[in-house]
Amino acid sequence: MARGEVVLTFPASGRARPPKSLPAFPVKPRLSSLVLATYAVTEKKSKGRKYPESEHPIRRAFQRDRDRIIHSTAFRRLQYKTQVFVNHEGDHYRTRLTHTLETSQIARTLARALNLNEDLVEAISLAHDIGHGPFGHAGEWALRDLMKNYGGFEHNAQALRILEKLEARYPDFPGLNLSFETLEGLKKHPAQLPGPYHRPLRMLEAEVVDLADEIAYTSHDLDDGLRSGLLRFEDLGALPLWRASRAEAQERAGGMLAAEFLQPAVIRRLIDRLVRDVLHGTLLKIRLKKLRTFSGLQKIRMPLVRLSDNVRRDHTELKRFLRKNLYEHPHVRRRTDEGQQCIRALFNAYLKRPERCGAEVLKRAGEDGLQRSVCDYVAGMTDRYAIQEYKHLFGMQE
Ligand code: MG
């Protein structure tokens, strides 16, 4: 149940039935139907926004963050950005947007079951890949290379740049003026901090999103890999996670699962298996560490939201399999090489003729330098727009 919704409870026995009279509006928003864990992030203890704003009468701070992210231009562009398969390869493959939505739903399931702040988890999830350029990780590597003498490029850092500076939707401040905790949750691999878990502020909500991201991409990349024919069922037999999920899917169907339902059933069981393992392992660790408070959480050095040792080993094996057989498959490589070539050509063409990027880029070049400003422009492009621009500038048909 979302924060702020009216909670109506019925007797435990029998089916839910409508109440005799509905409460009058306005109803005072309440935190949740569930009490948040004492180590969860709460709006009440939030460090707030950089530019102070008055509270909304209905929506809580992290709900507003989520809504601002959904209404941003950068979020809408995710629909034409590559996850693994380049956007024009087919309508049924995951894009950066559907990956983001799958991450969000897994993260929210985990957050709700762990009594963490679901609104914060949703906001971090929806923004977690907003800094990706066109053509997925290959595009990121191309930009990193082009920017190596000008401060580099990294998609998590770019997400913060978009949300704090580049999105222009409010006259009173740059960016979206999100809450401190939402921005903090996006600092996944800041270059100045060693290791993925050394966030300045420790929040289980951020750890939940990191793991949900991994569960989402391994399961849906496997699904898309099979759909594309680049991966085959018979290649997966050596993977313990696949074998166990397949056996469970067959067992639930009484061994009578028709071929066309097998793949979605196994993927469902795989996600469910990973999510249940995370919940079990995390609750155990919380109990073991006697975690009681948010300040207590800051003193714990080890990650708490994680898969159990055995399942993590199997999951790592699956990730290794995907890297070798899907991400490095000659077909995927060819597409991503073309994407990199497109990014390099556009970047260099705009450096020579920055007026082609428009007034906003020229203005920003005065503040941030030409390379950074062109990098922002190219990184903001969708695959579709980058290809279109490439054809326009270089007169190519394909
Ligand atoms: Mg992601």
Per residue, the 3-state secondary structure of the chain, as one string, reads CCCCCCCCCCCCCCCCCCCCCCCCCCCCCCCCCCCCCCCCCCCCCCCCECCCCCCCCCCCHHHHHHHHHHCCHHHHHHHHCECCCCHHHCCCCCEHHHHHHHHHHHHHHHHHHCCCCHHHHHHHHHHCCCCCCCCHHHHHHHHHHHCCCCCCCCHHHHHHHHHHHHCECCCCCCECCCEHHHHHCCCCCCCCCCCCCCCCCCCHHHHHHHHHHHHHHHHHHHHHHHHHCCCCHHHCCCCHHHHHHHHHHHHHCCCCCCHHHHHHHHHHHHHHHHHHHHHHHHHHHHHHCCCCCHHHHHHCCCCCCCCCHHHHHHHHHHHHHHHHHHHCCHHHHHHHHHHHHHHHHHHHHHHHCHHHHCHHHHHHHHHHCHHHHHHHHHHCCCHHHHHHHHHHHHCCCC
pLDDT of res. 28: 47
Residue 322 lies in a domain: yes
pLDDT of res. 170: 95
Instruction: Give the global pTM.
Output: 0.89
Q: Over the range 340-368, which residues count as b (16 or more CB within 10 Å of their CB) and which as e?
A: bebbebbbebbeeebeebeeebeebbeeb
- Compute, in angstroms, the gap from residue 222 CA to the centroid of ligand 1: 15
What does the pLDDT look like over 122-135, one tens digit per residue?
A: 999 999 999 999 99
pLDDT of res. 35: 83
Task: Please report, for the domain that includes residue 254, its CATH number.
Answer: 1.10.3210.10
Q: For 8-17, 220-229, 287-296, which range has the lowest pLDDT when averaged over its residues?
A: 8-17
Q: What is the distance between the alpha carbons of residues 96 and 79, in angstroms, rounded to a whole number?
A: 6
Residue 49 lies in a domain: no
Highest mean pLDDT: which of 7-21, 196-210, 219-233?
Answer: 219-233
Match 């923004």 to its residue by tokens.
Answer: 127
pLDDT band at 199 (very low <50, low <70, confident <90, very high): low
What does the pLDDT look like over 339-390, one tens digit per residue?
A: 999 999 999 999 999 999 989 899 999 999 999 999 999 999 999 999 999 9
Greater pLDDT, 2 or 185: 185
Match 């935190």 to its residue by tokens.
Answer: 31
Residue 222 lies in a domain: yes
CA distances from 290 to 3, 90, 317, 398 (A): 28, 49, 32, 60
pLDDT of res. 154: 94
Residue 2 lies in a domain: no
Residue 30 lies in a domain: no
- Compute, in angstroms, the gap from residue 302 CA to the centroid of ligand 1: 22
pLDDT band at 20 (very low <50, low <70, confident <90, very high): low
- Compute, in angstroms, the gap from residue 54 CA to the centroid of ligand 1: 32
- Compute, in angstroms, the gap from residue 8 CA to the centroid of ligand 1: 36
**Quick check: 202 pLDDT over 70?**
yes
**Quick check: 192 pLDDT over 80?**
no
Mean pLDDT of 132-157: 94
Mean pLDDT (the chain) is 88
Greater pLDDT, 17 or 162: 162
**Quick check: 139 pLDDT over 60?**
yes
- Compute, in angstroms, the gap from residue 261 CA to the centroid of ligand 1: 27
Residue 46 lies in a domain: no
Q: Which of 216, 197, 215, 218 lies closest to 207, judged by CA?
A: 197
* Cβ contact 129:79 at 8 Å: no
390-395: long-range contacts (C-beta < 8 A, 24 or more apart)?
Answer: 390/342, 390/345, 390/346, 393/345, 393/346, 393/349, 393/356, 394/345
- Compute, in angstroms, the gap from residue 253 CA to the centroid of ligand 1: 32
Q: What is the distance between the alpha carbons of residues 322 and 167, in angstroms, rounded to a whole number?
A: 34
Q: What is the distance between the alpha carbons of residues 77 and 79, in angstroms, rounded to a whole number?
A: 5
Q: How many domains does the chain have?
A: 1
**Quick check: 116 pLDDT over 50?**
yes
CA dihedral over 251, 253, 256, 257, signed as positive or negative: negative
**Quick check: 195 pLDDT over 80?**
no
pLDDT band at 83 (very low <50, low <70, confident <90, very high): confident
Mean pLDDT of 163-174: 95
pLDDT of res. 21: 55
pLDDT band at 25 (very low <50, low <70, confident <90, very high): very low
pLDDT of res. 215: 97
Neighbours of ion ligand 1 (CB under 5 A): 129, 213
- Compute, in angstroms, the gap from residue 124 CA to the centroid of ligand 1: 11
pLDDT band at 391 (very low <50, low <70, confident <90, very high): very high
Within 10 A of 285 (CB to CB), how many other CB atoms are there?
Answer: 17
- Compute, in angstroms, the gap from residue 229 CA to the centroid of ligand 1: 23
Q: In which domain, by residue range, is 249 found?
A: 57-187+204-394
Residue 115 lies in a domain: yes
- Compute, in angstroms, the gap from residue 323 CA to the centroid of ligand 1: 15
pLDDT of res. 30: 47
pLDDT of res. 198: 54
Residue 40 lies in a domain: no
- Compute, in angstroms, the gap from residue 53 CA to the centroid of ligand 1: 30
pLDDT of res. 9: 42
The percentage of the chain sitting over the pLDDT mark of 70, rounded to a whole number, equals 87
The first and second tokens of residue 176, run together, are 């979206």
**Quick check: 141 pLDDT over 60?**
yes
